[in-house]
Structure 1
Amino acid sequence: MKLRDFGHFDGPVLLVGGVFGNIDAFSAFTGMVAGRPVIGTGDLAAIGPAGEEAVTAFADAAWPTVAGASDLAALEDLRDPRSSAWGGPDAPALSDAAIRALSALPTLATFVQVDRRYAVLGGGVPGQGAFLWPTSSEALFREQIGAIEEAVGPVDGIVAGGTGLAFHRNIDAHQWINPGAIGLPSHDGRPETRYAVLTAGDVMIERLTYDAVGAAERARRAGATEPFAAIYETGIWPDEQVLPDALRRKT
């Protein structure tokens, strides 16, 4: 487990997860940051049509981020990290420079905002592999919080990505914040993606509007299958197998 301290922040912090190779959404996000600090939960390259560009752009922005599950998977097999069960583009693997950038990312980090301490991770506790969803049981949240505090000490909250769905839950005295994904819509029929703003313990989940049609066309040019490319325009995931039953659309 690779640990890192992201530092101390007095003002609002933007929390961002799941770029997922969507450079169009990432460019829109960078355009509205306006100098505010950004902390990421990883998943930079996988699924989308511009994985190499997304890794490079995030590194150039010098925003602290942990490695997401898809980043770690890409490093394990060094195959094209953009391919997926949804039918991602058949594109060349990441460059050596992008692989080095992903390799440098921590798997778990901490930061302090005002007087509250947070842990940051890509999804579930590294080595345990469990992603937590809005509908996950409180027992599972407590189990994960315990494992995190065993690794980094007491925290007031956890910032974790992985699922692509933004949510905020209070578990006893802890906050659990998932900022969602800026590179993938929330399976709610809207093309906008999500990020979060953390201000002294207050969490706001925001929508990001960007050129979703352009992202879909980029995916098609990269060789994506049509159900995959259409995600950006429709806001609907073509495969719900990754979702808990309670979060699947009823048709």
Structure 2
Amino acid sequence: MDKKIKNIGKISGKVLLFGGVYSNLQALQKIKSIAESKNIPPENCICTGDIVGYCAQPEETVQLFQNWGAQSIAGNVELQLRDGATDCGCDFKKGSRCDGFSQLWYPYAQNQLSKDALDFMATLPHHLQFEYADKQVTVVHGSYSNTSEFIFKSTPWNIKQTNFVETNCDVIIAGHCGLPFSDQNNNLLWLNPGVIGMPANDGIPKVWYAILDDSNTTLNFEQHTFEYDHERASKLMYEANLPEVYVKTLLTGLWDNTEILPATESTLQTSFTKDTH
């Protein structure tokens, strides 16, 4: 499959980064309002993919994203939906709990989405590239070579390093794994801003995003949480007969299981600290 890579040139000012909206309209509404309150223009708001996912309002979420004008790459969910695939392509282990639940929420999303929404997904690139604070930046979903690859903070650096070599960049902005983190090595930065559609298995219903700042002519970033109407989002999921374990996750901030997590991350289940550089 040929990669569609969109280069958006040199950008400046604050950049808002987030991933995994997961059909959570209430969370998307809130992150949009945060961007507006900080005077961050839509073109400086970047999503790492999976606009559609576990929650109850896929069509409304895609419509709002389109109307907002923020930028996004295609996550594995967008790639699968626009190709008419029968599964989400999340790379869950066959027969696992996550795999079983995906067989409920993915067909629901398929049935809810309009042709216009699917056409929009077809316009999304596999990767975004841009220059920021004299750094070359590439946005990926899982990794550069595999949209569905799970990369975490504990993932060995040599695996991350391959992505910098392949892209010839200084910064990788990534998504997919659902956990916010940063990892730096030899002036290279791997930054996952987290996702806004589901909590980060940290025991709070807040969700995560990041902001890049070049005001000191260098690339700085902060990772933040925000509150949103998670009770309404969970109620809508329950009424749509979507997996109750994900309904509970929105309320408790804890995942039903840690099947996808490496040993290091599976034992955390504690609040992440805000990372400032």
TM-score (normalised: structure 2): 0.82
Percent identity over the alignment is: 26
| Aligned partners of 2:143 and 2:149 also within 8 Å | yes
Residue number in structure 2 paired with 1:199: 213
CA distance in 2, matches of 1:41, 1:176: 13
| Aligned partners of 2:183 and 2:191 also within 8 Å | yes
Match of 2:62 among 55, 68, 72: 55
- The letter of the residue matching 1:114 is A
| Gap change, CA 1:141 and 1:186, over 3 Å in 2 | same
Aligned residues: 246
| Gap change, CA 1:132 and 1:247, over 3 Å in 2 | same
CA distance in 2, matches of 1:143, 1:136: 12
4+ residue stretches of structure 1 with deviation over 3 A? 76-90, 126-129
Deviation at 1:121, TM superposition (A): 1.2
Match of 1:135 among 150, 154, 164: 154
CA distance in 2, matches of 1:126, 1:223: 35
CA distance in 1, matches of 2:193, 2:19: 6
Deviation at 1:249, TM superposition (A): 3.7
Deviation at 1:62, TM superposition (A): 1.0
Deviations 1:162-211 (A, max 9, x none): 11111111122211110110111000111000000011311111001101
Query: Superposition pairs for residues 1-251 of structure 1, below 5 Å?
Result: 1-34=3-36, 35-36=39-40, 37-79=44-86, 85-86=100-101, 88-89=104-105, 91=108, 92-127=111-146, 129-147=148-166, 149=167, 154-200=168-214, 201-249=219-267
| Gap change, CA 1:105 and 1:42, over 3 Å in 2 | same
| Aligned partners of 1:19 and 1:181 also within 8 Å | yes
CA distance in 1, matches of 2:101, 2:254: 12
| Gap change, CA 1:129 and 1:217, over 3 Å in 2 | closer
CA distance in 1, matches of 2:144, 2:136: 17
| Aligned partners of 2:76 and 2:147 also within 8 Å | no
- The letter of the residue matching 2:149 is A
Residue aligned with 2:251, SS: helix
For structure 2, the residue ranges without an aligned partner over 5 or more in a row are 91-97, 270-277
| Aligned partners of 2:141 and 2:148 also within 8 Å | no
| Gap change, CA 1:128 and 1:101, over 3 Å in 2 | closer
- The letter of the residue matching 2:236 is R
Deviations 1:37-92 (A, max 9, x none): 21111110011211111122111111111111222122333458699643654632
- The letter of the residue matching 1:74 is L
CA distance in 2, matches of 1:176, 1:14: 16
| Aligned partners of 1:46 and 1:71 also within 8 Å | no
- The letter of the residue matching 2:62 is V
- The letter of the residue matching 1:53 is E
- The letter of the residue matching 2:221 is V
TM-score (normalised: structure 1): 0.90
Deviation at 1:117, TM superposition (A): 1.8
For structure 1, the residue ranges without an aligned partner over 5 or more in a row are none
| Aligned partners of 1:118 and 1:158 also within 8 Å | yes
- The letter of the residue matching 1:162 is H
Cα root mean square deviation, aligned? 2.2
Deviation at 1:114, TM superposition (A): 3.0
